[in-house]
Structure 1
Amino acid sequence: MRFIIFATIFFIVMSLFSLYVSKRFVKKLHFSKKIKHLINTFLAINLLGVLAYMLARYNPSVPNWIYFLLSVPIGIIFLLFITTIFYDLLCVIVNRAPIDEKRRGFFKKSLDIGALSLATAVNAKAMYNARNYQVEEVDVKIKNLKKPYNIVQLSDIHIGGLIDKEFIASIVKRVNSLNADIVVITGDLVDTNIKYAQAALEELKNLKSTYGTYFIVGNHEYFHGVQSIIKYVNSLGIKTLENENIYIGEKNQGFYLAGVYDLMGNRVDAYKPDLKKALENIKEEPTILLAHQPKFIEEVKDSVDLVLSGHTHGGQIFPFNFLVKLQQPYIKGLHKYNVKTQIYVNKGTGFWGPPMRLGSSSEITLLKLT
């Protein structure tokens, strides 16, 4: 029922975006009626693609190439919508500029061609960005840490649909080249029924590090059977931190690694985050907490040295990051929360929805602790 409500609202929003593009962009173009009709037809087909995407979202029988074609329209509509907003503003400037009509017509035609070309180029670039992740190296100073450690952080992979076995295998190969002391996965690893994610998850058994791989659930795990996902991930030799902590490194030379359930647990009244329990029996040594959503930092206050989060995707497609900022205190990168506590927000190793990223690259984080 939750998905039906979400899908209905989402489709209505996409329909309104498409209507705005048609009325405020396509209609104003100094092109022939035939060309404008073709563009509107493309918008209509695009909108049908969004509807088909919502129906195919969790259907594993849909081939990847079809799933790709169905998922791209979401990003195309959103980027065209943003392009239209800027186009509208520039049209106002051109129309009010103190120039003769002939020159005004020239500028208007140039604007039309430029806007359409830019929209096409931006969509192509966004699709390229989604499949090409970057390693972000981040230096983090932690008080009283006796020796340096390297932590590799993955987040928001969203296995399911276009994120498949091959994609995970390429991530594992890159991670293994970084000589990590530990690997952490900060939620939203699985975004489909666990039986359809098993082949991709099996690749994670090949992750190599000195002290192992650790996982916490994100909000999307709650949509697909959080208990079954935790059980399967644990069977791979990956430790799920369920409101608990573990000591990493040699005695008196390491740090505590704690993890909590996601805030979604409070909404569904199951698998609720419990910071007090997660930090039980921790002594006066550095502590790192895995918490999927950055806003969990408000509960942490100064009880840990470093929080590692994800969830935001760095906004994924600009300027969506401004909307994310309304819900989360941090979007990406390293931040100092108070005198003791820092937080790092991973932009996401995979993507959700359209295979597009603009202004926010896919990320594998190498945190160098000193």
Structure 2
Amino acid sequence: MSTDASAEPRSVREDGSEAAAAPRASLRRRLGGGVVFLVLVLLFALPWGTLFAMGVHWPLPVFVAGTVVFAVGLVSFPFLMVAGHGRRRIDRASRIADSTLGIVWVLFTWSVLGDLAHLILVALGMGGVGQARIIAVAVVVVATTLLAWGHFEAMRVPRVKQVEVTLPRLGAGLDGTRVVVLADTHYGPIDRARWSAGVTEAVNALDADVVLHAGDIADGTPTQRREQSAPLGSIRARLAKVYVTGNHEYFSEAQGWLDRMTELGWESLHNRHVIVERGGDRLVLAGVDDVTAESSGLAGHRANLLGALAGTDQDQPVLLVAHQPKYVAQAAAAGIDLQVSGHTHGGQIWPFNFLVRVDQPVVSGLSRHGERTQLYTSRGTGFWGPPFRVFAPSEITLLTLRAG
């Protein structure tokens, strides 16, 4: 009797907890959706106000045309995003939605700066319709120029950025080792097969000992992006070609991308390592899954540094490939010599780099963490979403490792 009596209240409490949890989850979803909606409205409304409503007093046809364009953009954007990046993955919808996002972000940024300038003029007694119109036109000219330049920057084959990294534990036999870094190629809705071939040609011209890809290879499945990824199979390296997953792989068949890269002749560092040797000295190349892997629910996928280093000699230097820079805390605690990451895109479109910095310890470049560990963060080879790069150029990185 006592066992049955005690079990019943537990069942009631569990049922009650589950019943209470559902409304809380629903409330969180509604609040999250509300925040996203308000941000979206602000992104469209502020540029509309700067260009067509706040003190400019354009002729009625200009005001109406501008209002219609922004209203259509605001209403259609969520549907295009869902169609392009949801289950259906319609590339044409993605292209329109992503371009719209980039355009409205640049307009929003420069509208904020224009509005601040207008407020200063008003405070100085120099405001008026003429000044408001000059600012509106200036915002359009600056935004158009930056978007044209940013699109060119996004679509070109990246320039090579050369960096020397001294690793005190690196043996003399490996001094001068040339490591080429690719990251965030993001093969996606825009067909960039020719661009991919150009990247391969640029990498092969660098005569690399090691080539590594630090994740976010594509937006889409291996089947969808087969043609774009094919040139990776022609990349040459004397000692090793290695690859780790990024967070975007976990949106679209992460294991499939590991298999695809193996098919193309790359070593997939799925929480494992390989050792390269020259002149009697060794370097451990280790890799971990992205930090989001565990939450994906995909069996066997999670960031596991202990597993990646299992069986290595603790006296040998380690180059760790981890997609996100923030993994450097674990790398430093483990005494890793060098971590190579991507993910940030250098912000991709200014001033988004300041928002990236909230989530990541570094946005780009070489940095030191703790007594031994260094981190190199690539700005990325491709781009995600909006086909623009503003004040954040893409890169193919050549790291030359120097012995201490």
State TM-score, norm by structure 1. Answer: 0.90
Aligned to 2:272: 244
C-alpha contact 1:30 1:112 (8 A) present in aligned 2: no
C-alpha contact 1:14 1:77 (8 A) present in aligned 2: no
Give distance in 2, aligned partners of 1:8 and 1:187: 32
Equivalent residue for 1:51, pick from 79, 83, 97: 79
Aligned to 1:180: 208
Aligned to 1:230: 258
C-alpha contact 1:50 1:73 (8 A) present in aligned 2: no
Deviation at 1:11, TM superposition (A): 6.3
Structure 1 pair 37–105 and aligned structure 2 pair: CA distance change class (3 A): closer
Structure 1 pair 163–218 and aligned structure 2 pair: CA distance change class (3 A): farther
1:46-77 Cα distance to aligned partner (Å, 9 max, x none): 332563244134767646xx754443111011
Structure 1 pair 272–364 and aligned structure 2 pair: CA distance change class (3 A): same
Aligned residues: percent identity? 28
Deviation at 1:223, TM superposition (A): 1.1
The RMSD of aligned alpha carbons is: 2.4
After TM superposition, the structure 1 stretch with the greater mean CA deviation from structure 2, 327-336 or 37-46, is: 37-46
Give distance in 2, aligned partners of 1:73 and 1:361: 20
Equivalent residue for 2:302, pick from 272, 276, 279: 272
After TM superposition, the structure 1 stretch with the greater mean CA deviation from structure 2, 321-330 or 111-120, is: 111-120
Give distance in 2, aligned partners of 1:41 and 1:210: 57
Aligned to 1:141: 166
Aligned to 1:355: 387
Helix, strand or coil at the partner of 1:277: helix
| Larger-gyration structure (1/2) | 2
Aligned to 2:225: 197
> How do 1:323-334 residues align onto structure 2 when only pairs under 5 Å count?
323-334=355-366
Deviation at 1:85, TM superposition (A): 1.1
Helix, strand or coil at the partner of 2:391: coil
Deviation at 1:308, TM superposition (A): 0.1
Aligned to 2:245: 217
After TM superposition, the structure 1 stretch with the greater mean CA deviation from structure 2, 17-26 or 124-133, is: 17-26
Instruction: Name the count of aligned residue pairs.
Output: 362
C-alpha contact 1:67 1:161 (8 A) present in aligned 2: yes
C-alpha contact 1:11 1:50 (8 A) present in aligned 2: no
Give distance in 2, aligned partners of 1:127 and 1:199: 22
Give distance in 2, aligned partners of 1:319 and 1:331: 12
Give distance in 1, aligned partners of 2:380 and 2:303: 21
1:133-153 Cα distance to aligned partner (Å, 9 max, x none): 221111111113222100000
1:91-143 Cα distance to aligned partner (Å, 9 max, x none): 110111145x7xx5554443232222112212222212111222111111111
Q: Are residues 1:121 and 2:148 paired? A: no
Equivalent residue for 2:41, pick from 7, 10, 15: 15
Equivalent residue for 2:135, pick from 67, 90, 111: 111
Helix, strand or coil at the partner of 1:184: strand
C-alpha contact 2:91 2:190 (8 A) present in aligned 1: no
State TM-score, norm by structure 2. Answer: 0.83
Helix, strand or coil at the partner of 1:189: coil
Aligned to 1:321: 353
Q: Are residues 1:83 and 2:100 paired? A: no
Give distance in 2, aligned partners of 1:203 and 1:8: 43
Structure 2: which 5+ runs fail to align?
1-28
Deviation at 1:44, TM superposition (A): 2.8
